[in-house]
Chain A
Amino acid sequence: MQDLLKIMLVALSVAAVHPLASAQSLSQKLRAEPATALVNAALASGNAVRGAILFPLQKSGCANCHAAGNSTLLGPDLTRLGHPVTNESLVEEILEPSKVIAKGFETATIVTTSGKSITGRIVKRSASEIVVRDTSPERRLTTLETADVEEIAENKVSAMPDNLIDQLKDRQHFLDLLRYVMEISADGTTQAPAETYSRGGGTIRQELQGLVLLKQFNCAGCHRDDVSPNSVPVNPGPNLTWSGGHVNPHYMQKFIADPAQVKPQTGMPDLMAGLSDEQRHSLALELTHYIVSLSEQSFRKQPVDDEAAVRGRELFHSVGCVACHSPRDDAGQEMLSKSSAPLGTLEDKYGIDGLSEFLKNPHEVRSGGRMPSLSLTHWEALDIAHYLLSRGSEDQSAADGSFVRDPEVAEKGRLHFRRFGCATCHGKNQNHTAATAPPMSSLRIDQGCLSEDVGPWPRFDLNIQQRQAIRAGLSGRTRVLSDEEHISVMLTAFRCANCHQRDELGGVSPERNPHFQTTNPNLGPQGRIPPTLTGVGGKLNPTWMRQVLLGGRLTRPYVRTRMPQYGTESLAALVDLFQTVDAVPEEKYAQFKDQKAMRTTGHEMVGTGGLNCIACHTFQLKQAANMPAVDLTEMSERLHKSWFYRYMRNPQQLSMNTIMPSYWPGGRSIRRDILDGDPDRQIEALWQYLLDGRQARQPRGLIIEPIELLATDEAVMLRRSYPGVGKRGIGVGYPQQVNIVFDAEQLRLAMIWQGKFADPGGVWRSQGHGTVRPLSRNVIRFAPGPDLDDANSPWIVDEGRPPQHRFKGYSLDKQRRPIFSYEFDDFTVTDYFVDAVDPKSQQSLLRRTLTLQSKQTDGHVTFRAADSEEITRGDDGTFRIGQTLKVRIASDQAGQVVDTESGHQLHVPLDTTETSSTLVLEYLW
């Protein structure tokens, strides 16, 4: 197990190590061997599981271009090579890729009429367009109009580098990889996947787009929605009670007076058509006074903190804001404003507090959920607010935001508010609007709000496409959406499709692609691009999906773009819709009798001895060596079993971006020694294991970080169980690299060693049933029983608690070294170990000072300083204890070597005729 882990870790760092290895590279050496020899060696000793794990690693890079069951990648789908494959030819193709390039996988360099040049593989070619997958790390798909193509030059050299194999550690790794590739390409005729990937990027039909806009502009506020009332939740205007306290009144006034001028594309209509600028201005002022009066808070501006703004910029461009809003350049200029949701001049509108509050909890202000919550912490929201407001307001009147309330003006404003019907969109209860205007089905679609005329109707800032879409939507007339249409309308309305692809619809656009980031590049594109929604209802359990959509539950911590939250009920309908539309029939599952046995087998398969899932998958938040792939302990909670079966059989077929290797290529297991190699039973065993969820037993190979307790400039201490010491051990590591365990139950020095202190893993992991392990092989242990005892009665030598001794605790000196304190009979005892360096030997030593105090003065007590099989008295006055340790009595008492059953003990009889006596011992090496 450890070997494999080591190997995989090495595999990650091969590039750095390799150049030093030898003059001849691995690929050169391998090319010198006959292909047959390599094939035979792979068959004899290649480990396909290890190969499967090497295959997707970034360093070897196979999965960047090749996959099983995905035909649009840069390299051939290895399960369907489409030409006669022998194992020998595979060796050749890996070692000399350019010798024979698979048909259709030649790379070409295409020069466009505008002079742009793209190198890649042509995946589709028709009369009108050419689709190229380029060789950039992103492997981007580009569609070119045939008319724009100036020249296509086919390349003679394969896109696969000749020396790719040099990324591997050694010949064995090559054999492992070869063995795996032999497995997946074994029959070369695997049937084509039923589903082929759509490129996405599509949008919904115009009339559906119209339905989205009808809700977005809250048309049902005035027109009863008899067209498609339940397609999407409506989008009311902001909660003005909040705005009154958080939006700059000067901005508010300007905005009300001419909404589209201040914020192009706003959903707020102009209600004052036909009025003069002066009239607009004064009405807007009165309305502003009214709105401000709704809040007890007053707008305030705060200074921008430049450091926070820097953090905010990073957050803005990574957590997901720019999936809908425009990314900004260094100067703060929007780069994609045309295709983005507008922000307007936030500097004029908000203060830091107001904007951060809105970002933290947007649904309090905008209940329609179009602006989702990105689960920002208070501090993240502040940082983003500092960034978005960092340019400062250019509007002088808005600069300080001060505003004097005037109740009389506000009262006038209140009357306008009623007159204009502002509450239609800004009221508390959106469902009880007067709906005075004609119902939607009877609207004349070229008049009123949908015309460009000015009249007694609200004027929305619609562009021509929007107008046409709304007209198309209205002409649908009380049509009932199919479930799939309903889904795509929802995905569009809430801009889910900006990040997620579902069949033809949506997906990350090329220009926003760079802003989708990952914490771990080893995962490839799946590490940063939000997962596909194609078939998602057949994949995820409804409970899980609800928790993700509405409860903020996440399982891909490596995707830096956060899954937004849209408010409790906005998206709830999607859960059922997905489940209905995407339902797939149950698979035929493997039958078994003994569930426990299956679970045990599954446990073995997940570990290093089986399919080694643990090499890449997180287990209970503990990251694997290679990459943080989805947590194994959440699989069964997330997934439908049928999906799990299908995915296991052919991962790329269901998930385009996955780098999960196929362990059952062509329906054959690469581990034929487990469960007779039966794929279904193997998959079932995994599932049975995963069903245990959080309770699943830790698989073999889970990396456990070592813990070490070390003394540096102070003593370190841990009261726990030590080997051979009861449960009341007190271990102390001293800065001079000497260590003891004091037994607080028996009041004795139990262990002593030089070197590093201890590994507490045995008591700090799992239930804590182990012991603290001293980090030395040369630990000296002393016999049970207390160190201080009555000289006239037999010495206690059992492991129990001595009846006359009572531990009283300890105090710490300035270096955190304990002074133990206990009582024995009538004596009060302190026992104090201090580390030092022996001037003679330059070795560290422990000086132990024992003090006794007693009211009585006629005791006969003896102190046991050490014991061993052999104790001899040295010439220098020290006692040699066994092989390595010496004890010197530094005070004026005399030691005696006493025979015991098991060897010798060093005793120091103590004179207790004084009320206080002191014994000083030195333990030396």
Chain B
Amino acid sequence: MMMWKIVFARIDDRLIHGQVMTRWMKGFPEASIVIIDDELAVDEFMKNIYTMAAPPGVKVKVFGVDAALKEWSQKASVEEKVFLLFKNIDTCKRVMDGGLPIATLNIGGVAKTPQRKGISQSVSLSEDEVKTLLELKTKYNVDVYLQMIPDSEKIHLTTVVEKYFPELK
């Protein structure tokens, strides 16, 4: 058992992929990847794929929301650096409501659907999703920003609201 120290948290519907593996992960070479997703946690095949896809030496763990909250609250003396990944904003909210503290939240990849407005190259958001993010921001003081890779432009949630969802101000 090790205590989690969250070094990075990201929402990305593709979870581990090129941007995460060849760019973001390189800034946290000691961290383990923790994916929190209820669906994935019960899909043995996909869980296995994610574990195998990680670069040699990087641990990948997949938890459902409840299991993650249990795991996180374990008291232990050893600290484990954790690179957190969520498939969607909803799961992230549930985990935070359950008490997991996240200080900064990167929104990296949310694919376009008819309900979502295209905001950056890789992120589209619906009004409900922006509402959820705003709630997280006020409730837990999370710094929420959109950024695909470390070299791309960083867009803060306040800018998103001002430019794309002025009615939510």
Q: Do A and B come from one complex?
A: no
